[in-house]
Structure 1
Amino acid sequence: MNFSFENSIDVNTLKQVIEKTINAVVVTDNRGLITWINKGFERMTGFQFDEVIGKKPGDLLQCEKSDPEVIQTMRTAIETAEPFEVTIYNYTKQGEGYWNCIECMPLYEADEHTGFLAIQTDVTSRIEFQNQLIEANRRAQENSERLLLAFAGGQVGSWDWNPIEDEVYFHESWENLVGARPGSLEHKLETWEQRIHPDDIDSFTQKLAFITRDKHDTFVSEHRLLCKEKHYRWTMARGQVVDRDSDGNPTRLVGVHLDISEQKRTQRLLDERNDLLQTILDVIPFAVSWKDADSNYLGCNDRFLEFWGFDSSRDVIGNSNLNLSLTGIHSESNIDEDQRIMQSGDPVMHKIETSVSKNGRPMILDTSKVPLKMHNAETGLLIISIDITELETARETLRQNELKVRHRGRMEAVGELAGGIAHEFNNLLQAIGGFVSFARDDISSDSQAHTDLNQSLTAISRATQLTNQLLRFSRIDEVEKYECNSLSIIEDLKVLLRPLLPENINVDYQLNGTLPLIIANPLLLGQSLLNLCLNSRDAMPAGGTITIGNRLITSQQKTFIGFYVQDNGLGIPEYLQDRIFDPFFTTKEVGQGTGLGLSMVYSTAQEHRGSIEFESLPGQGARFELLIPVISDNHQPEDSNQTDSVDMKNTNIKSILVAEDDSIVMRVTCRMLENLGHQVFSTNNGREALEMYRQERDNIHCLVFDVCMPLMTGTEAYDEICRLGNPPPVVFCTGYDSDQKLKNNLSQKGYRLINKPFDQSTLEGAINEALHEAAGEE
């Protein structure tokens, strides 16, 4: 085919026509490379002029869905310079597919093949319409075949009823449906009615009345129909009025009978499963509910109604969360969360939420939300909530108990550590204090050295108090306690407290003098309250108010007196609150605190079988409260084991046997006794003391034994001495008696025990008491 621009229309005019056509026009050279395109090609393919020049159209537009046979047809035509017309699936520059009808013809100049001209048309809508027609014809053919098979298989039967003549024509397919021999049925309505199950006849008659009396156009009735072998099958009769007389009465009704036994069986199984599912939903201890895409409730179980205080599911179904006026879990933020879950398809599992039921009951819920595919292809939401209020409460109680046990373990560990070092530490204090006292007594009281040595003794006394504080960590319920009044404890505190507070701190006392008595050690309680007050003072560098009071507290059938100290100072940072009772923990600068104040308060509470509670917010101050049990009705006061001390001077020189393993403490003790005028026999352990006593028993009037010594302890040595008969009185000394068991055991035997470090007067008093008691027994 020759094509030339040298015709009756000039080239420019032809080019303008091609440029404005809606079709895509492409011109290539004889190798198939593009030399020109029109605007229609740019609109159809998305490629611009500069992007396609020098390229083959197939390389730009063909894709994996393009038919290989069509591609080969085009290539063969191009190679032989033959015209062709094909329809092929192409892609645009943006990757969108479309059906392209291509009409291509070769171009010649002077009988020389110079290239090709291709006109392309987007025929996507036409192809898709053809495909739809083909698919519709295919479905219609399938349905027709299916209907014929249903008629032949006895699943569908047709009928034709004339209500005026009361004649029903039963097609042979209807006879096949009920299992009757062809031509054996009388064509009357009565034939049909006689085969209907007795329980369904009334419903059938009522449905017919809608047609004959109420002049409805459509007839639908589900009923059981007697078939062969006296077996009833569920059927559905559907009919349509196709003719009426002048008065509007139906004269012809045409319809079919469908066997729906399988559908009924399936429905029955579904109903049974639904009943089972509903039973399960109602007995599980979870609140279960489900919503539609608009967040309206479609259903819920009984537990849900119980959770939120509703009487019936009718109060819930069809309402949204906001309409139900539920608080907490059903806030607007949670509604937004529901929508995100339904839109994204990502569930939210085990989210812990706090909420309040409709009747005001606070709850802690473990809630899971899962997207739910609905029958209408929409996405709803399934919500399962577990009430874990009791579990969380128990878990918090367990956590608090674990913290108490952990803290008590730390306290006991400190007590064991303190006990381990106390003996050696008190021995050192005994030696230091003794030699300092000796040095002080040998110089003039007016000298600076005398004053310095007094300060040293004061420091030694403070070190002794610190040791005693450490030892108290390992003593629980062993301090002396007696009946006392909470008011008097605070009154005694007033005297000590005021001089320790700056003028910019006020004290507000909230006292109640009518509270029950407690069994306590007033000194320990007073010291604990003083520690709390000093902490409050340090927490208010700019001044403020300390509130001190007592009150009656009843908790879990127990009654306590609460001693509270409250300030409006800096407060305690939350990250430190778990550590404030730890021994040696302090936030103060070095030298400003030992870290034992609150630990002593905790220990005091434990010793009194009470507890310490506190609350604090940073910047809003702190409140501490000591809870001490009141005296119970069946409490019996303890007998006093106190004995009157003997105040007597040593008027006779005695020979005293000393047993002490620490050489420095030995020298200090011997010097104290020599200063008192006694003659001293010294030994380094219990075994040497026993041998010395056997040699000098007639010359020894009193014993001073350290309890803990190598080879043989002081108590073991004294037991051996007692076996020898007529033992002299003994004074035991120790640097460590954490639980006071040693003191109690020795007291029960009538022996005396003094704690290191002791001074000369303490040693003198103990010896005099022991000698006085021995003389009285004689």
Structure 2
Amino acid sequence: MNRERSIEIEKLKANMKKLEQVNAILEKEIAEDKRTMEELKANEERLNFALEGSGDGVWDWNAITNEMIYSKGWKGMLGYEENEIQNLFSEWDELLHPEDKESAYLKLNRYLKGVVPAYDSEYRLRAKDGFYKWILSKGKIISWTTDGKPLRVTGTHSDINSRKLMEQELREAKERFSNVLEYSQDASYRRNVVTDKYDYMSPVFERLTGYTLEEILVMNENTVFKKIHPDDSDDVIQRIKEASAKNGASETIAIEYRFLCKNGEYRWFLDRFTSVKGKLLQPSFRYGVFQDITFQKNVKEELKKAKEIAEKASINKSEFIANMSHELRTPINVTLAGVQLFELYLKNGSYLNKEKTSKHLKAMKRNCMRLLRLVNNLIDSTKIDAGFYEPHFRNQDIVSLINRIALSVSDYAKQKDINLLFHTDIEKMLITCDVDMIERIMLNIISNAIKFTADSVLINIYKGVDRIVISVKDNGIGIEKENQNIIFERYKQVSKLFTRENEGSGIGLSLTKSLVEMHGGNISVKSEYGKGCEFIIELPVKYDTNEECIIHNFNETEDKDKFIEKMNVEFSDIYE
């Protein structure tokens, strides 16, 4: 019995020992679990502290129950207190901006279905103040259901509102800058000197030159140089090479040159650029602005021409004034001499015979007519320039008119031993003209022919295409080719033609040209030096049916007397 009891005691002691060992193990495990829990708590506190310190919020979503836990930082990010947002997924949905819902749900579902490896989404949430804030949400699935569906998804919320606003401002600034470049009158560019290609060219270049951006961006420097006008290319190449050879950023270079556009036209451009040489392995660039200055160049050229014309006119006027002084002085001196002579005869009581008196009076009268012709030409030229010269157009038989003028002048020509002939194949041709102006035109041309011819003047009239052509030809010394373009200019004289016997003010042919042009016609000269001149007047054949333009009928006596007076005035500068 004692033996059995001893055995039981031994068993009991063994069990107690085992219990002590189990108890020790349990106490150790409990202590370890406690330490683990404390470490987890500490880690959680550190994580929360880190998240709160970074300003980010935390969320934890049960994808099965739709329970959503939002951290204090998550709520505070939007300005809400902890009790103002419930732990429901629907709270997030309600705060989501309507315009962002579709894209936010699309990104979330793509991640849950495994289409993308990570959840990363940007959207706007409504803050407590009613404004929307941009949020960056990142998350990860941390547990799955037994059938492999996402159970818990946890993640962070970051406030990216400032970044988004900056991005928007940057986009707007870039858009404004792009608009400035696009709608500017100048083209901006950047050329990579290492690759020898343009890596940027504003769209304005296409508008300025006609080349597309694709065409210009592939052009190397030699191709560009070939499109520069040959007269400008050497200077452009030299200045570009000098700028490229400098280290660092060069000064701004401005070059004007002509560039061949796509339509085959050369246009003037101002190219302002700066060369920047890269350091070490960095490339070198040339930054520039391309400006079309064709209009400015043309204006400058026009101003230069206008200045030359003004200076030429000034010289011509000076020459004219000098010549006019002589033209005025000569007839005045002759007339004054005659008056003084008559005064002397009267003072001395000398006898004045008829022949002497007639001779002096004739010279005085001719010189008075020279003055009258000169004054008339000056006044009429001024009127034409000012637009105050009024023609009186009538329908007139031009053949009859020219024939009458030729017959009236032929007697005067005979006195000068000049044979004046009139020829026409046309019997009659009605045109609208100013009779007085036609007479003046013809008298001026015939007067010049009589001055310089050797012994004959031929007046010919014939029909052209819609025009009547009047030709006055002499066999005098003629006009050198280089002087034929200036004889119709105001105040111009071909000096070699003028001798003491043949003088003029330089107004007559200019005035004649203006009178012809007032009829819608033109006047020209053909001449070979030493073989005479041919002045050709072309007048349009037009007939006005207006009652005011009835056919002009000549009064034989009255009109002839007026014409002779005109002829005497026009021929007054031809010396006896």
TM-score range (shorter-chain normalised) is 0.3 to 0.5
Give the structure with the larger helix fraction: 2
Q: TM-score, structure 2 length as denominator?
A: 0.45
Q: Which has the higher contact order (CA 8 A, sep 6+)?
A: 2
Q: TM-score, structure 1 length as denominator?
A: 0.36
Give the structure with the larger strand fraction: 1
